Amino acid sequence: MNDILLPVIFVILAIAVLGSLAVVLVRGRRTPPGLYSSPRDPDDQVEGGAHGATSTDVLERPDGLPTDVLVPNDLSGLEEAPAPSLDTVDPVQGRLARLRARLVRSNNALGKGLLALLSRDRIDEDVWDEVEETLLMADLGTEPTMELVDALRERVKVAGSRSPAEVKDMLREELVKLVDPTMDRSLATHRHADRPAIVMVVGVNGVGKTTTVGKLARVLVADDKDVLLGAADTFRAAAAEQLATWGARVGVPTVKSDVDGADPASVAFEAVKTGIEQEVDVVLIDTAGRLQNKVGLMDELGKVKRVIEKQGTVDEVLLVLDATTGQNGLSQARVFAEVVNISGIVLTKLDGTAKGGIVVAIQRSLGVPVKLIGLGEGADDLAPFDAEGFVDALLS
């Protein structure tokens, strides 16, 4: 009997031992083949491990990735993340028509006031004084006001009897002369053979400078141009993020620094360099607008411009001004004109003032044309400036 029991017991013990070994091996297996991950069970954590390290943190992945990253062998079953939706940008002509309508509503007090005065049966010195006062209140400026009044005096004297239509025609013609349709208001945004067009945007903080850069990017995208933004305003909190948000809405990339107070010239240089490498059409550079002292501003903007031009000439320097500031805007404009060679003016918030004459005053003061106007807070409320269209809106 013992001869029979001993082999049976030995077999049973052997099966038990092998079974235990199999369980240990199965439990030692951490993931299916081709998939590496850290254990999910918190009890598997090693005591004293840094940042909740796990027992697999000591393992080396064959692909060099950390052990807590899941990398399935087959990616075919994964769905691609949907592309972010982009804003639909209105075409330029559609924006122009809408913005002119706003200009009519905001500035008609000036035009209607002048027409009412000049349409009186008898125009004496008191009337001319009122005309002069109306123009000065509209920030036309002293010299342009005198020119306009003198020209109108002569024409009214020669015309003798006149109808309201004739008065309006005379006033329109003289205002168009002052606004000067002969000025070149085109934007230098055409790509060069070997590099993008480079546009610097300057202006004091608070005039809507960064917003204007974002809106200008939309204008250029609507014109089928590839654009890249450079966030060189590194001193104002969140300026870079604000600009990047504007760019993302129309699919335009932004070069920026994640360090507050970074060197703006370095950011501008990197933006232009990236624009050259990516063969974009236009690089728009937003700059800081601190105006605590003129010397510091000159040094900063001068450095940005010099560093940029190591890679290519700056094609356009646009000065952003707030139309509601009136004569204060002129003072700002003169300071920036001393710092960099301004090539054009962007006049924002023109819908918030009846002082449309600021267009003439700025152009006369700087000898630089108003190229773009902003007439609202909307994303597409920026449009090219048209001299005759502007005057027609004033007199509508």
Share of the chain above pLDDT 70, in %: 69
Residue 73 confidence (pLDDT): 35
Co-location of 252 and 218 in the same domain? yes
Residue 314 confidence (pLDDT): 96
Is residue 343 a part of any domain in this protein? yes
CB 275 within 8 A of CB 283: yes
Averaged over 314-332, what is the pLDDT?
Answer: 85
Co-location of 166 and 224 in the same domain? no
Instruction: Give the pLDDT band (50/70/90) at residue 31.
Output: very low
Co-location of 231 and 329 in the same domain? yes
Closest CA to 115 of 66, 175, 65: 175
Instruction: Give the pLDDT band (50/70/90) at residue 147.
Output: very high
Q: What is the CATH number of the domain that holds 280?
A: 3.40.50.300
Say yes or no to pLDDT of 200 above 50: yes
Number of structural domains (the chain) is 2
Q: List, for residues 269-311, the tens digit of each pLDDT value.
A: 999 999 999 999 999 999 987 665 566 777 888 899 999 999 9
Residue 355 confidence (pLDDT): 67
Co-location of 205 and 320 in the same domain? yes
The secondary structure of 126-170 as a DSSP string is HHHHHHHHHHHHTT--HHHHHHHHHHHHHHHHHH-S--HHHHHHH
Is residue 29 a part of any domain in this protein? no
Q: What SS3 class is residue 198?
A: strand
Q: Which range marks the domain in which residue 267 is found?
A: 197-388
Token pair of 284 as six digits: 């728009």
Residue 322 confidence (pLDDT): 86
Q: Which of 148, 179, 210 is the last residue of a domain?
A: 179
* Average pLDDT score, the chain: 76
DSSP 8-class letter at 310: T
Q: List, for residues 365-389, the tens digit of each pLDDT value.
A: 889 999 998 877 777 788 888 888 8
Averaged over 45-74, what is the pLDDT?
Answer: 32
CB 235 within 8 A of CB 351: no
Which range is least confidently modeled, 23-27, 65-69, 72-76, 291-295?
65-69
Co-location of 123 and 151 in the same domain? yes
Is residue 3 a part of any domain in this protein? no
Say yes or no to pLDDT of 136 above 80: yes
Is residue 43 a part of any domain in this protein? no
Co-location of 240 and 157 in the same domain? no
Say yes or no to pLDDT of 55 above 60: no
Say yes or no to pLDDT of 171 above 70: yes
Co-location of 172 and 215 in the same domain? no
The length of the chain is 396
Residue 10 confidence (pLDDT): 61
Residue 61 confidence (pLDDT): 28
Q: What is the CATH number of the domain that holds 129?
A: 1.20.120.140
CB 225 within 8 A of CB 189: yes
Q: Which of 119, 152, 179 is the last residue of a domain?
A: 179
Is residue 192 a part of any domain in this protein? no
Instruction: Give the pLDDT band (50/70/90) at residue 67.
Output: very low
Token pair of 112 as six digits: 């209607």
Burial string for 313-339 (b: 16+ CB within 10 Å, else e) reads: ebbbbbbbbbbbbbeebbebbeebbeb
Higher pLDDT, 92 or 199: 199
Co-location of 202 and 147 in the same domain? no
Q: What SS3 class is residue 200?
A: strand
Higher pLDDT, 11 or 190: 190
As a whole number of angstroms, the distance between CA 223 and CA 226 comes to 9
Q: Is 62 exposed, middle or buried (0-12, 13-18, 19+ CB in 10 A)?
A: exposed
DSSP 8-class letter at 54: B
Higher pLDDT, 276 or 79: 276
Co-location of 270 and 154 in the same domain? no
Q: What's the pTM?
A: 0.74
Co-location of 214 and 158 in the same domain? no
Residue 310 confidence (pLDDT): 94
Is residue 54 a part of any domain in this protein? no
Co-location of 233 and 369 in the same domain? yes
Dihedral sign, Cα of residue 137, residue 142, residue 144, residue 150: positive
Residue 377 confidence (pLDDT): 75
Q: Which of 150, 179, 208 is the last residue of a domain?
A: 179
Say yes or no to pLDDT of 104 above 90: no
Q: List, for residues 386-395, the tens digit of each pLDDT value.
A: 888 888 877 7
Instruction: Give the pLDDT band (50/70/90) at residue 161.
Output: low
Is residue 63 a part of any domain in this protein? no
Is residue 70 a part of any domain in this protein? no
Co-location of 321 and 243 in the same domain? yes
